[in-house]
Amino acid sequence: MQTYISGIAAQEGKSATLKGWLYNIRSGGKIRFLLVRDGTGIIQCVASQADVGEETFELIDTLTQESSIEVTGTVRADKRAPGGYELVMTKLELVGRAADYPITPKEHGTAFLMENRHLWVRSRRQAAILRVRHEIVRAIRDFFDDRGFVLFDTPIFTPAACEGTSTLFETDYFGEKAYLTQSGQLYAESGAMALGKVYCFGPTFRAEKSKTRRHLIEFWMVEPEVAYLDLDGDMELAEDFVFYVVEQVLANRREELDIIERDTSPLEKIKKPFPRISYTECVDILNKAGHPFQWGNDLGGDEETIVSSQFESPVMVHHFPAEIKAFYMKNDPQDERLALGFDMLAPEGKGEIIGGGQREDDYDMLVKKIQAHNLPLEAFDWYLDLRKYGTVPHAGFGLGLERTVGWICGLSHVRETIPFPRMLHRLKP
């Protein structure tokens, strides 16, 4: 029977068999200390020649880093062991010998580690980050599922741009041009008209030659869309949602945050309601902070950092100038220059994690906007149908998973937040 290291404390004083890999080894004259990992944790296994016999003892000395092994022994609490428990070995079985594992227990550069990403994920820190990612994904699903949202999967292959601005990956679809999706939102809107409250959660693709710590070519986005919801309701949903995700990670992944050495106090300070400031107020804040900024420009990375650093909770900036926002966003009936959209900026200068808002629900207005953005009307005939057959006010938003993981884990770069990041000039492994 196999025991997992995560549950080793319950086996104290008893016999256990661990199946894993050799993380590191240290030796004394007739004693060996094997650090064994099994994916759930790391434990020190102690072998003395007297306990395991000469043959096994010699086998231990031939083991290389990351060789796969099965070890049997007695679990014992010992202060000298990292983690507080160790396995006093009686038996060892070599499953697969590893040859010259490239990632040594020493410092490496990120370029080298990215080349070896398929092996880097075995390291303690990377594994912890990926566990937090999983927790965030679970919290996202639970949040929407518990509130009666229906998962509405949207297509990866699309016939045209969702937003004219970004560059798309073009593929050959049996002789026809098709593009990899950059958002499931337009399709999710159709879902909201059918099922009321929906969300889509999948990969999206942006062929922009972005080369910063916040960008990936392929990233995951969750996009809820709700019928009969306005901008205020949308922001409330986003606030409840992000708060829940942070709460769940703090409740369930303390150990991993500890391994990553994340200072959790900024996360613990987050409370509802999140600050809401209009774009126009935002311009004032920037100018008062000594950062000249003109009304009408879009917020860049520096601006986001200045604004978000004024608050402990994520801040929602709303009512942007309509000109700098996408065609599908509804204009403010009080002031046509403004769009009923919002961005949520994460604290600690981590930038935009959510973009969303109320959608244009008037048929004629939408036609005008599509034309104004120089987009082909015929590609959006089905989207316009949603306004033709029982249109309603509706809203939604998109949350970038990797940026959220990066913020919650306190990472400076999104490349460590996904098992195999696709970046400019990196398609392998």
Partner RNA sequence: UCCGGAGUAGCUCAAUCGGCAGAGCGGGUGGCUGUUAACCACUAGGUUGGGGGUUCGAGUCCCUCCUCCGGAGCCA
For the segment 72-91, give every residue that binds RNA (CB under 7 A).
78, 80-82, 86, 88
Contact mark string toward RNA, 211..250, x via CB under 7 A: xxxxxx--x-x-----------------------------
CB-based contact 219:401 (threshold 8 Å)? yes
- Closest approach, Cβ 272 to RNA, in A, equals 20
- Of 15 and 210, nearer to RNA (C-beta) is 210
Report residue 204 CA to chain centroid gap: 13
Contact partners, residue 263, CB within 8 Å, separation at least 6: 410
Stretch that binds RNA, among 41-49, 89-97, 151-159, 265-273 (CB under 7 A): 41-49
- Closest approach, Cβ 2 to RNA, in A, equals 23
- Cβ neighbourhood burial of 191 (10 Å; 0-12, 13-18, 19+): buried
- Of 347 and 355, nearer to RNA (C-beta) is 355
Burial 77-116 (b: 16+ CB within 10 A, else e): eeeebeeebbbbbeebeeeeeeeebeeeeeeeeeeebbbe
Residues binding RNA: number (CB under 7 A): 75
Q: Does 399 bind RNA (CB under 7 A)?
A: yes
The helix/strand/coil state of 391 is coil
Q: Does 287 bind RNA (CB under 7 A)?
A: no
What does 34-75 look like in DSSP terms, one character per residue? EEEE-SS-EEEEEEEHHHHHHHHHHHHTT--TT-EEEEEEEE
Report the site for RNA in 107-166 (rule: CB under 7 A): 107-112, 114, 163, 165-166
Closest CA to 5 of 31, 44, 34: 44
Q: Does 290 bind RNA (CB under 7 A)?
A: no
- Closest approach, Cβ 250 to RNA, in A, equals 22
- Of 324 and 372, nearer to RNA (C-beta) is 324
Q: Does 60 bind RNA (CB under 7 A)?
A: no
- Of 44 and 331, nearer to RNA (C-beta) is 44
Q: Does 55 bind RNA (CB under 7 A)?
A: no
Distance CA 407, CA 289 (A): 24
